[in-house]
C-alpha cells in the first residue's frame, strides 16, 4: 500500500499530497512534498472559529508545530512539508476530543524529480532551491488570475506553460479596478449572494481551487508569489477593511492551508502604502503572525506603491519593490543586505497609466539593467484589448514582444549562474557589468560603442590581480534580436576589437589565465 501510493505520486509527476488518515500505515512522502492528515470532526456552528486544531511533527530532537484547518463537510486537515528525510511522527492537539491526540507517522524519502524544494536565499543576494539546485527568479504578474472563469484560467495556464517565467505574482483576493471589474466565481469568504461576506468564514471551495492552481504551477516549475492583501477593493467586497481580528483569522487560516506548499512565497501586500486602513504597525503584526505560523520560513516581502517598507525587518527575506529605475537594485542590495527584486518596473503595454505602457524594448532593457546590476526584475503586460482581458490582471495570452527576449536573457543566465555586479563605479556606473561564473558581462543598453579595448578588460579585473595578464575571448549578445556572435580570435595585452556600434548589445568577456 505504501509503495503503491508512492508509485502513484511518481507516475502523476505532480504534487498531489500524500493523504494519511490516523489509521493508515506509515506512508512514504518525498522531501518537500505535502503530507496531509485528514480527520473527521464537527460541522455545526462555525468550525473555522470554534475549533482549534494543530499538530506537532517530530523527528529526533526536532519538532515542528503546524495548525490544522476546517475544509467543509466535517473534514479537518493538517498539512506538513518535511524539510528533512527520515521518519516523522505526529500528534494532534485540539479543543475537540475527536480531533485531539491523534497520532501517526510517515517516512520522508528522497525528493521527487520536479520538486527541488522551496526557494531560499543563497549567499545573501541570490536565490536557490532548498535542494541546492539553481533558481533565478524571472517573474510575471497576473494579479487576479485565480478569480477568472475556468476557460480563461485554462488559457492562462497554457500560456504560462510556454512562457519564460518561473514565478508569478497573484492575489488571494479578487481585484476591483480598471480592467478588473469581474465578480469572482469563487469568493474567498462565504457570502450571502447579495455581495455581503462573513469575514469569519473562509470559503474552502475557493482555497481548494487556489491550491489546485498552485500545484499546477509547481508542475510547470513556477513559484507563486502570493499577495495576501491589496488596496484594489475600495469596499466593493470590503476585503481591504475587514478589521484587525478578521485580517489575522484570514491570514492564520491561509497559512494553515498553504504553508506546506513548497512553491509559495508570501507577498504581504501589493502597494501596501495605498491600503488606507492599515498602519505600519498592522503590517508588522501580520509579519509576526507569518513568522509564528509558517514553520518553513517561506520567502516573504511586501510590495510598495510610492513608499518603501522597511525591508530590514524579519521575516522579510528580500526586497520586493515597485520602481521604474531598475539600476537602483544595485543600491538596494547594499542597503538591505538581501536579494533585491523589482517586481514592477512598469509593464509592456499601451494603456493610459504610465506604469502600464512602456515599450517592449524598454522592458527588455530594464530586465538587462536590473539583472546585470545584481537584482531581479518582474514582467507584466498591459495591452488594451477589446475583451478587456489584460495579462497583468486576468491572464489569457501574452501578446507582447518582451517575453521572447526575457527567455533569451533567462537562458543566458541559467547557462552560467547568477550575476554578481561589479562596483557601480566608472565606467560600470554608466554601462553595468557583472561577473558570472568565470566570465564577465557588460550590458551596453542605449550605449553603442564601436570599439572595446584592453582598457575595459583592465577595469573588469581591477580587483583580480591573477587575471591582469589573461587571454580574452569575446561574444556579442544582441539582446533585442536575440543573437549571439563570437568576436573572432583571442586577445591579450594591449588590444582593440570592433563592436557593432548599435544599441541593446551585451558583451560577454571570458578570460583564461
Binding mask 322-341 for its own copies (x = CB under 8 A): --x-----------------
Q: How many CA atoms lie within 13 A of 471 on its CB side?
A: 4
Closest CA to 403 of 175, 168, 219: 168
Closest CA to 58 of 88, 103, 92, 94: 88
Q: How far apart are CA 135 and CA 265, in angstroms?
A: 14
Task: Return the range that interacts with its own copies (CB under 8 A); candidates 136-144, 257-265, 352-360, 412-420.
Answer: 352-360
Among 46, 446, 471, 483, contact with its own copies (rule: CB under 8 A): 446
According to the binding rule CB under 8 A, does residue 355 interact with its own copies? yes
* Contact between 333 and 339 (Cβ < 8 Å): yes
Q: How far apart are CA 351 and CA 354, in angstroms?
A: 8
Task: Return the range that interacts with its own copies (CB under 8 A); candidates 79-87, 102-110, 164-172, 356-364.
Answer: 356-364
According to the binding rule CB under 8 A, does residue 495 interact with its own copies? no
Task: Return the range that interacts with its own copies (CB under 8 A); candidates 220-228, 335-343, 357-365, 389-397.
Answer: 357-365
According to the binding rule CB under 8 A, does residue 362 interact with its own copies? yes
Toward its own copies, which CB reaches closer, 96 or 497? Answer: 497
Toward its own copies, which CB reaches closer, 124 or 448? Answer: 448
Q: Any idea what DSSP says for residue 26? A: P
Provide the minimum distance between the beta carbon of 354 and its own copies in the complex, in angstroms, as a whole number: 3
Task: Return the range that interacts with its own copies (CB under 8 A); candidates 30-38, 43-51, 439-447, 469-477.
Answer: 439-447
Among 132, 243, 423, 501, contact with its own copies (rule: CB under 8 A): 501
Dihedral-angle region of residue 396 (phi above 0 means left; psi in -120 to 50 means alpha; beta otherwise): left
Task: Return the range that interacts with its own copies (CB under 8 A); candidates 119-127, 310-318, 332-340, 353-361.
Answer: 353-361
According to the binding rule CB under 8 A, does residue 453 interact with its own copies? yes
* Contact between 198 and 191 (Cβ < 8 Å): yes
Q: How far apart are CA 61 and CA 270, in angstroms?
A: 39
- H helix or E strand, kind and range, residue 171: strand 167-171
Provide the minimum distance between the beta carbon of 90 and its own copies in the complex, in angstroms, as a whole number: 51
Q: How far apart are CA 412 and CA 136, in angstroms?
A: 11
Q: How far apart are CA 10 and CA 17, in angstroms?
A: 12
According to the binding rule CB under 8 A, does residue 353 interact with its own copies? yes
Binding mask 402-431 for its own copies (x = CB under 8 A): ------------------------xx--xx
Q: How far apart are CA 324 and CA 29, in angstroms?
A: 44
Provide the minimum distance between the beta carbon of 141 and its own copies in the complex, in angstroms, as a whole number: 17
DSSP secondary structure letters along 80-113: E--SS-EEEEEEEEESSGGGTT-EEEEEEESPPT
Please give the grid coordinates belonging to residue 424.
Answer: 557601480
Alpha helices in 29-120 (DSSP H): 47-50
Among 127, 452, 472, 480, contact with its own copies (rule: CB under 8 A): 452
Q: Any idea what DSSP says for residue 132? A: S
According to the binding rule CB under 8 A, does residue 399 interact with its own copies? no
Provide the minimum distance between the beta carbon of 453 and its own copies in the complex, in angstroms, as a whole number: 6
Please give the grid coordinates belonging to residue 398.
Answer: 501574452
According to the binding rule CB under 8 A, does residue 350 interact with its own copies? yes
According to the binding rule CB under 8 A, does residue 39 interact with its own copies? no
Binding footprint of its own copies on the chain (CB under 8 A): 306, 324, 346, 350-355, 357-359, 361-362, 384, 426-427, 430-431, 444, 446-453, 455-456, 501, 503
Amino acid at each position: 500500500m505504501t509503495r503503491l501510493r508512492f508509485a502513484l505520486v511518481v507516475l502523476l509527476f505532480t504534487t498531489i499530497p500524500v493523504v494519511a488518515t490516523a489509521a493508515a500505515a506509515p506512508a512514504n512522502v518525498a522531501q518537500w512534498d505535502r503530507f496531509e492528515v485528514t480527520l473527521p470532526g464537527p460541522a455545526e456552528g462555525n468550525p473555522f472559529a470554534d475549533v482549534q486544531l494543530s499538530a506537532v511533527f517530530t523527528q529526533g530532537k526536532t519538532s515542528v508545530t503546524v495548525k490544522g484547518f476546517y475544509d467543509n463537510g466535517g473534514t479537518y486537515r493538517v498539512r506538513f512539508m518535511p524539510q528533512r528525510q527520515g521518519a516523522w511522527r505526529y500528534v494532534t492537539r485540539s479543543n475537540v476530543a475527536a480531533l485531539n491526540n491523534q497520532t501517526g507517522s510517515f517516512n520522508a524519502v528522497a525528493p521527487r524529480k520536479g520538486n527541488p524544494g522551496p526557494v531560499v536565499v543563497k549567499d545573501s543576494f541570490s536565490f536557490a532551491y532548498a535542494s541546492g539546485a539553481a533558481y533565478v527568479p524571472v517573474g510575471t504578474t497576473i494579479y487576479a488570475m485565480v478569480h477568472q472563469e475556468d476557460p480563461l484560467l485554462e488559457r492562462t495556464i497554457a500560456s504560462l506553460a510556454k512562457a519564460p517565467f518561473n514565478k508569478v505574482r497573484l492575489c488571494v483576493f479578487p481585484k476591483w479596478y480598471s480592467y478588473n471589474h469581474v465578480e469572482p466565481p469563487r469568493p474567498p469568504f462565504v457570502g450571502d449572494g447579495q455581495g455581503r461576506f462573513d469575514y469569519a468564514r473562509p470559503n474552502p471551495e475557493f482555497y481548494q481551487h487556489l491550491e489546485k492552481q498552485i500545484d499546477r504551477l509547481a508542475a510547470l516549475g513556477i513559484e507563486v508569489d502570493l499577495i495576501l492583501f491589496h488596496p484594489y477593493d475600495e469596499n466593493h467586497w470590503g476585503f481591504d477593511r475587514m478589521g484587525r481580528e478578521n485580517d489575522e483569522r484570514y491570514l492564520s487560516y491561509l497559512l494553515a492551508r498553504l504553508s506546506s506548499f513548497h512553491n509559495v512565497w508570501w507577498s504581504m501586500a501589493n502597494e501596501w502604502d495605498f491600503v488606507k486602513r492599515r498602519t505600519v504597525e498592522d503590517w508588522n503584526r501580520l509579519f509576526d503572525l507569518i513568522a509564528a505560523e509558517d514553520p518553513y520560513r517561506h520567502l516573504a516581502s511586501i510590495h510598495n506603491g510610492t513608499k518603501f517598507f522597511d525591508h530590514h525587518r524579519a521575516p522579510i527575506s528580500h526586497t520586493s519593490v515597485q520602481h521604474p529605475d531598475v539600476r537602483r537594485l544595485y543600491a538596494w542590495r547594499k542597503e538591505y543586505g538581501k536579494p533585491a527584486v523589482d517586481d514592477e518596473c512598469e509593464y509592456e503595454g499601451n494603456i493610459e497609466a504610465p506604469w502600464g505602457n512602456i515599450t517592449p524594448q524598454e522592458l527588455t532593457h530594464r530586465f538587462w539593467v536590473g539583472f546585470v546590476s545584481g537584482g531581479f526584475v518582474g514582467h507584466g503586460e498591459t495591452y488594451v484589448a477589446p475583451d478587456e482581458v489584460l495579462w497583468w490582471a486576468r491572464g489569457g495570452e501574452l501578446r507582447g514582444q518582451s517575453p521572447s527576449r526575457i527567455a533569451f536573457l533567462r537562458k543566458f543566465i541559467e547557462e552560467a549562474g547568477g550575476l554578481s555586479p561589479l562596483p557601480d563605479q566608472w565606467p560600470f556606473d554608466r554601462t553595468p557589468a557583472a561577473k558570472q561564473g568565470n566570465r564577465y558581462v557588460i550590458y551596453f543598453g542605449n550605449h553603442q560603442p564601436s570599439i572595446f579595448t584592453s582598457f575595459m578588460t583592465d577595469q573588469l579585473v581591477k580587483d583580480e590581480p591573477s587575471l591582469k595578464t589573461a587571454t580574452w575571448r569575446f561574444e556579442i549578445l544582441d539582446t533585442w534580436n536575440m543573437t549571439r556572435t563570437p568576436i573572432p580570435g583571442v586577445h591579450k595585452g594591449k588590444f582593440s576589437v570592433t563592436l557593432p556600434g548599435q544599441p541593446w548589445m551585451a558583451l560577454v568577456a571570458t578570460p583564461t589565465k
